[in-house]
Structure 1
């Protein structure tokens, strides 16, 4: 009888609270806004933990690493477990990791990334020697499929991050399209860098529609309206984020990360705070 009385009392109280404040029981879902840590690499060199604490204080609640050392098996000098625990303690879990590696080290690199609880391991940059001709691109697609198999075995998703050179035509073919068409969608996803696609002369939305579901991750990065097309805090430049985010389901986007490669007029902290405020207030998210 006592348990029944307590249950009824709790139910009535919850109902009353909901009538007074509808958000009490149905609080809006918190936006997940990630940061690619390459953005603050210079700050990290001075003080890793202080930098990550400041990033979390701004409001970022997801991180993508760019500091895994293949030879040492560490993230910014920390073991995978210690690094993951530190980020988790900040409320900014490691969602993804950028690491340039080859098949001879793939098993270890991918296993270390998976051990942090990250959902993605991303190949961030293709060296010149792999892209001198179309055969090099085809071999890269085959290599990515193999890496994707290893990642799948470890319970993590493999992906590739673009720059602008993937859009330079070679024998009337666009290498980016070659990678997309010759990789297995179940093994290889793509982290689209919105800035670099735009810099390469193409519209991200066109690629979402041409290859739906292939772009689980995005780098959200803006471009100045000036002729130099320099990097800019998100929302301050020329890229139409509202139009791009309107097609996030078509793209298959699950997570995104703010990134700014370099800075001209503002400190890194000022820039990433501007980007965060814009995205946190954006109605299209």
Structure 2
């Protein structure tokens, strides 16, 4: 019996370790997915699309639309399938002018994060734009924090205009309260403007809370415009991004949720391939 107990303990530890690393060596657990990836499918059939996502082994979704459902209705569909919505994407206007309704939906969905995908702009980012955004982010962030939700801003490329010894993105980070405001890195829209995603994660390891795993086709030129052809969104590992470096940085940061984002019309074929690639790392 004395010999059996240590053996059982070792077996238990080994089992727990295996479970903790059940997806891959670098990517510890199955990533989530951004609902925009299957936007056309969701707009036609929410229950069927959720079944499809679950069949891929994905259980965590960041919704940036309710697709004609109320928040409680969508939550019920998720609960029925053992799925979760950890992040709710809304507009800049919504957090600035409709914070109560946004937070009501967020609570109904059971999310931990509310994020916006960009700041309204017609030109390159300006200091005034970032000053105004910082005020809105801090105000809404405090409201969300008071209800147990973290607000995050998703970069979209145009924020990396040079400013003083850094960029306007650096300015925005400096002017927002870390207790109330986090960030969601879009890897492609960090890389294309000329930034190093892994280095930026290491620069702000405690500010980034979420990340969009999106790759860009080889040959696409660097740009800070924040837009590209949907078909330039390719299977992870086949484009320009150094994913091992990014994931290693993610593992040293405060990022809690990883979401695959595939903008192409072939997303239904590409997402399973992206999952296979991430698992291989």
Q: TM-score range by the shorter chain?
A: 0.7 to 0.9
Deviation at 1:102, TM superposition (A): 3.5
TM-score by length of 2: 0.83
Cα distance in 1, alignment partners of residues 259 and 11 from structure 2: 37
1:128 alignment partner, SS class: coil
Structure 1 residues 222 and 129: alpha-carbon distance in aligned structure 2, compared to 1, 3 A threshold: closer
Whether contact under 8 Å (2:30, 2:57) holds in the other structure is no
Give the match for residue 78 of structure 2: 87
Give the match for residue 26 of structure 2: none
1:185 aligns with 2:178: yes
| Matching residue within 224, 242, 245 for 2:244 | 242
Cα distance in 2, alignment partners of residues 130 and 183 from structure 1: 22
| Matching residue within 182, 200, 224 for 1:207 | 200
1:28 aligns with 2:19: yes
1:198 aligns with 2:191: yes
1:102 alignment partner, SS class: helix
Of 171-180 and 190-199, deviating more is: 171-180
Whether contact under 8 Å (1:17, 1:24) holds in the other structure is no
1:103 alignment partner, SS class: helix
Cα distance in 2, alignment partners of residues 159 and 166 from structure 1: 15
TM-score by length of 1: 0.82
Whether contact under 8 Å (1:111, 1:154) holds in the other structure is no
Cα distance in 2, alignment partners of residues 18 and 25 from structure 1: 11
Whether contact under 8 Å (1:66, 1:98) holds in the other structure is yes
Whether contact under 8 Å (1:133, 1:170) holds in the other structure is no
Give the match for residue 138 of structure 1: 131
Deviation at 1:246, TM superposition (A): 1.2
Give the match for residue 64 of structure 1: 62
Cα distance in 1, alignment partners of residues 264 and 83 from structure 2: 23
Select the structure with the greater relative contact order (CA < 8 A; seq sep ≥ 6). Answer: 2
Give the match for residue 211 of structure 2: 218
Structure 1 residues 27 and 89: alpha-carbon distance in aligned structure 2, compared to 1, 3 A threshold: farther
Alignment of 1:262-277 (within 5 A): 262-263=264-265, 267-277=266-276
Structure 1 residues 132 and 207: alpha-carbon distance in aligned structure 2, compared to 1, 3 A threshold: closer
Whether contact under 8 Å (2:125, 2:158) holds in the other structure is no
The structure number with the bigger radius of gyration is: 1
Cα distance in 2, alignment partners of residues 143 and 39 from structure 1: 28
Cα distance in 2, alignment partners of residues 278 and 82 from structure 1: 34
Whether contact under 8 Å (1:130, 1:136) holds in the other structure is no
Cα distance in 1, alignment partners of residues 11 and 140 from structure 2: 54
Cα distance in 1, alignment partners of residues 221 and 79 from structure 2: 38
Give a deviation string over 1:64-89, Cα, whole Å, max 9, x none.
0010xxxxxxx222221221221233
Cα distance in 2, alignment partners of residues 129 and 237 from structure 1: 28
1:56 alignment partner, SS class: helix
Give a deviation string over 1:92-147, Cα, whole Å, max 9, x none.
21010110023220121022112211110001121116976311211111110001
**Residue ranges of structure 1 left out of the alignment (5+ in a row):** 1-7, 68-74
Deviation at 1:91, TM superposition (A): 2.9
Cα distance in 1, alignment partners of residues 13 and 180 from structure 2: 43
- Number of aligned positions between the proteins: 261
Cα distance in 1, alignment partners of residues 275 and 16 from structure 2: 27
Give the match for residue 160 of structure 2: 167
Structure 1 residues 33 and 25: alpha-carbon distance in aligned structure 2, compared to 1, 3 A threshold: closer
Give the match for residue 97 of structure 1: 88
**Residue ranges of structure 2 left out of the alignment (5+ in a row):** 23-28, 223-231
| Matching residue within 259, 263, 270 for 1:261 | 263
